[in-house]
Structure 1
Amino acid sequence: MTQAPATPKAARRRHDREIVALAVPAFGALVAEPLFLMADSAIVGHLGTSQLAGLAVASALLTTAVSVFVFLAYATTAAVARRVGAGDLRAAIQQGMDGIWLALILGAAVIAVVLPTAPTLIDLFGASDTAAPYAVTYLRISALGIPAMLVVLAATGVLRGLQNTKTPLYVAVAGFIANGALNAGLVYGADLGIAGSAWGTVIAQIGMAVIYLVVVVRGARRHGASLRPDAAGIRACAQAGAPLLVRTLSLRAILMIATAVAARLGDADVAAHQIILSLWSLLAFALDAIAIAGQAIIGRYLGADDAQGARDVCRRMVQWGIASGVVLGVLVILTRPLFVPLFTSDPVVQDAALPALVVVALSQPICGIVFVLDGVLMGAGDGPYLAWAMLITLAVFTPVALLVPVLGGGLTALWGAMTLMMAVRMATLWMRYRSGRWAITGATR
């Protein structure tokens, strides 16, 4: 007897359960990353405005140094999930091991570049004479934790692809607690200032990487995957991630341009920008929890040759993204008078931040659509399209942002340009989603 097809309502409930089962733990793990920076900002901010301005510039560079390699997580999630859908767990974990070896190689290369060039990199951002020394100190120390963070990215991708978002949540929570305790102890207890904040974060990052390695190595041994570096596999991982690298470099260029523009508006504006960017990152990662679920679920459906299931769950995730964006926007409006004083007591910085946060709040429904569709296309392995779409977005945003100091409007105008950037991303991603050309099935794309 043939089983009756599921009703639309039953299918929505099934998709909701799938999304929630992966998105809720992913949310906790994702928000831990901006919470690292928020904790650093809160602790360093009470040292003084110059220290906070220095942290703003250095953290933008560090986040870029790590985030340009986010394909270690995203591409690995999609590739592993496809193989899980096809029923080949050994090949799935082997893919992840290749990604971890690539992470270690890239991390060593980044350190070799950042340490000797730190003062030059800080100068390029236009940091003031008072903020620059703090920025250089923080950048040089924190760069030592980059290999660990890249290993965390790759190992997280393995576990997400295996439909496991709970372990990354546990590790992220432990890392956040350790980071906060170490930062407070080293900055104030040991009186190390901004250097203590950097060392605390590095120690926490190394601890997280060690835990991830233990989990992944155990899985590799259980399923017979090799632990040795494989040149061909590492090279294949790098090639698969190249389009996402272009996509991420373009996005990081946008964020760096925004920080550079804010720095030229003055120390108060760049300090306020750092506070807003910390919140924006937190909101983005919260919305990206649905996208992370999308990467894992979409990859699994496509690997199992179920294109219709992939399209159905994508539609449902878009609805989730819009609703979540509305809720987050309302929360920002209601809590912004309480949020800003947590990071600074300087009234000039507070006056710069409060109106810009209104713009951030109004943009959240757009952000909800963008992050969900970005995750869906990553899960489908549609990296080349994502690369081109982000290059278009960068081309639109750059002249608008650079005009802010000329035309006026201050930090609020700058975040208006950021909202325009998200609207362009939404338009390009929506066109691809509607075309259906991303839904290619099979264990590999």
Structure 2
Amino acid sequence: MENGGAAAATNTAEKHVAIPIAAVANGGGEESKVEDVPAHALLPSGPRKTGFFIFILNIRSLFKLDELGSEVLRIAVPASLALAADPLASLVDTAFIGRLGSVEIAAVGVSIAIFNQVSKVCIYPLVSVTTSFVAEEDAIISKAIEENSSRDLEKVSHVDSETDNLPVSGPDKAECVNSCIPAECTDLSDNGYKRKYIPSVTSALIVGSILGLLQAIFLIFSAKFVLSIMGVKSGSPMQGPAVRYLTIRSLGAPAVLLSLAMQGVFRGFKDTKTPLYATVVGDAANIILDPILMFVCHMGVTGAAVAHVVSQYLITLILLCRLVRQVDVIPPSIKSLKFGRFLGCGEQPLES
């Protein structure tokens, strides 16, 4: 009984914490006195039930969106849906190809793996650099146009002073940004332009097109060699359909990289709904064309590749039509393209 009473007293003592409370009475200071307060009262959300409690602490605050949170949500949700659209379309595509036979589905799987690995070399640098530069230049040019709306367009040197305050990621980044905005970009009102010209937009389109053409040429002329590295040797029943699928699929490489570059542009404009719309339309076209070309037209694996290429060019066409309505993609001069900034500013300076 004595041991039980001692344990109960210990548990009771552990549930209370002595904290000082300052008391002031009648305008005079009194010494602080100590008061026992239950330990769970010090927690912001009541007593801790389990160790997992720390992960759901104040979870209700996640649903209280302020202006910034709402803007992030408007950007993140369409972008996430666009990323989920391609895998879903690929599942349907795989289901149709699987009906052709085990050899065909294995051959297509190897070809898709090769195509995706080659594309990844260019995808992430192209999209991330494009998004960053387009957002940066769009903010600078938009602010300059607003400040020059009173017909003081000759004071374009103000843009250089604005770029000095931008965050930099290296010692060479500031010099690169200061020279990235040509004067033609802010002289839109006098020249009668209704659309802005942003150098990084045109640069991204040209770089994406060139990289896509290089990827297509490389995969078309080295299809058998690359497949042999992946284990599809000569004499294998997989080699024929794999070469056909990879060769035709490579024809869509320029559209793939060009569409990814434009998706980076729209993300720089904080617009993720347009890429989502284009992706859904293109994937839907792919799903519709697959059974028609593969089974109705009896094209087999070739039909699957053609359907995918058509869908990629459809996505590119939709994005390009939407893009030319917002910005002017034709540069006012060759010097305004600033390829040196686009290709070199993402590099970190080497330490001596």
TM bracket (short chain): 0.5 to 0.7
> Partner residue of 2:28?
none
Q: Distance in 2 between matches of 1:230 and 1:12?
A: 47
Matching residue within 9, 13, 17 for 2:65: 13
Question: Does the alignment pair 1:49 with 2:156?
Answer: no
- Using the TM superposition, give the Cα deviation of residue 34 of structure 1 relative to its aligned residue in structure 2, in angstroms: 2.6
Is 1:212 matched with 2:319?
A: yes
CA distance in 1, matches of 2:323, 2:279: 16
* TM-fit CA distance, 1:63: 1.2
Look up the equivalent residue of 1:69 and give its one-letter code.
Answer: C
CA contact (8 A) 1:81 1:162 kept: yes
Report how far residue 93 of structure 1 moved. 3.1
Residue 376 of structure 1 aligns with which residue? none
2:309 paired residue number? 202
Taking a change above 3 Å as real, the CA distance of residues 174 and 229 of structure 1, as seen in their structure-2 partners, is: farther
Q: Is the 8 A contact 2:127 2:263 kept in 1?
A: yes
Closer, same or farther in 2 for the Cα pair 1:218/1:115, shift >3 Å?
same
Question: Which moved further from structure 2: 159-168 or 32-41?
Answer: 32-41
Aligned in 2, Cα 1:41/1:11: closer, same or farther, shift over 3 Å?
closer
- The normalised TM-score by structure 2 is 0.60
Q: CA deviation at 1:27?
A: 1.6
Q: Aligned letter for 2:307? A: G
Mapping of residues 414-429 of structure 1, within 5 Å: none
Indicate the SS of the match to 1:211: helix
> How much does 1:100 deviate?
0.3
- Aligned amino acid, residue 85 of structure 2: A
Inter-CA distance 190–205: structure 2 relative to 1 (3 Å threshold): same
* Structure 1 SS opposite 2:128: helix
Counterpart of 1:46, as a letter, is R
In the other structure, the counterpart of 1:354 is none
1:94 is aligned to: 199
Q: Aligned AA for 1:212?
A: L
Bigger Rg, which one? 2
The residue aligned with 1:171 is 278
Q: 2:239 aligned with 1:132, yes or no?
A: yes
Rounded Cα–Cα distance in structure 1 between residues aligned with 2:249 and 2:298: 18
Query: Deviation at 1:48?
Result: 1.4
Q: In structure 1, the residue corresponding to 2:65 is in which secondary structure?
A: helix
Query: Distance between the aligned counterparts of 1:229 and 1:66, measured in 2?
Result: 28
Cα deviation 1:257-283 (Å, max 9, x = unaligned): xxxxxxxxxxxxxxxxxxxxxxxxxxx
Contact residue 115 and residue 143 of structure 1 kept, 8 A: yes
Say whether 1:192 aligns with 2:299: yes
Q: Number of matched residues?
A: 235
* 1:13 Cα deviation after fit: 2.3
- Alpha-carbon distance between aligned partners in 2 of 1:225 and 1:219, rounded to the nearest angstrom: 12
Partner of 1:116: 221
**Is residue 76 from structure 1 mapped to residue 130 from structure 2 by the alignment?**
yes
Quick check: which one's helix share is greater?
A: 1
1:88 shift after superposition: 3.6
User: Runs (4+) of structure 1 moved beyond 6 Å?
Assistant: none
Letter in 2 for 1:13: L
Q: How much does 1:238 deviate?
A: 2.6
For 1:160, the aligned partner's letter is: R
Please list every run of 5 or more consecutive structure 1 residues that lacks an aligned counterpart in the other structure. Answer: 1-7, 244-383, 386-445
Q: How does 1:330-345 map to 2 (within 5 A)?
A: none
Alignment of 1:314-393 (within 5 A): none
Tell me the distance in 2 between the aligned counterparts of 1:97 and 1:210. Answer: 16
* CA distance in structure 2 between the partners assigned to 1:60 and 1:228 by the alignment: 40
Distance 1:116 1:195, change over 3 A: same
Which residue in the other structure is 1:319 paired with? Answer: none
Q: Which protein has the bigger strand share? A: 2
- Give the superposition deviation at 1:102: 0.9
Asked whether 1:28 is paired with 2:81, we answer yes
Counterpart of 1:63 in structure 2 is 116
Letter in 2 for 1:38: L
Contact 2:202 2:337 in 1 (8 A): no
Distance 1:229 1:175 in 2: 33
Change beyond 3 A, Cα 1:86–1:46: same
Give the Å deviation of 1:182.
1.1
**Partners of 1:228 and 1:66 in 2: how far apart?**
31
Cα-to-partner distance string for 1:154-204 (whole Å, 9 max, x where unaligned): 111111110000111110110010011111211111111111000001111
**Structure 2 gap ranges (5+):** 1-59, 144-184, 186-195
Shift of 1:20: 1.5
CA-CA distance at 1:85 after TM superposition: 4.4
**CA-CA distance at 1:115 after TM superposition:** 0.9
Between the aligned partners of 2:101 and 2:255, the Cα distance in structure 1 is 29
Alpha-carbon spacing, 1:199–1:227, altered in 2? closer, same or farther (3 Å) = farther
Residue number among 208, 221, 225 corresponding to 1:103 in the alignment: 208
Partner of 1:61: helix, strand, or coil?
Answer: helix
**What percent of counterpart residues are identical?**
29
Q: Do the aligned partners of 1:142 and 1:198 also contact (CA within 8 Å) in 2?
A: yes
| 1:19 positional shift | 2.4
* TM-fit CA distance, 1:33: 2.6
Distance 1:228 1:51 in 2: 50
Q: Which amino acid aligns with 1:35?
A: L
Residues 31-80 of structure 1, C-alpha deviations (whole Å, 9 max, x = no match): 22333432321211121121111111100111123222112222111222
Change in 2 beyond 3 A, CA 1:184/1:230: farther
TM-score (norm 1): 0.48
Distance 2:325 2:264 in 1: 16
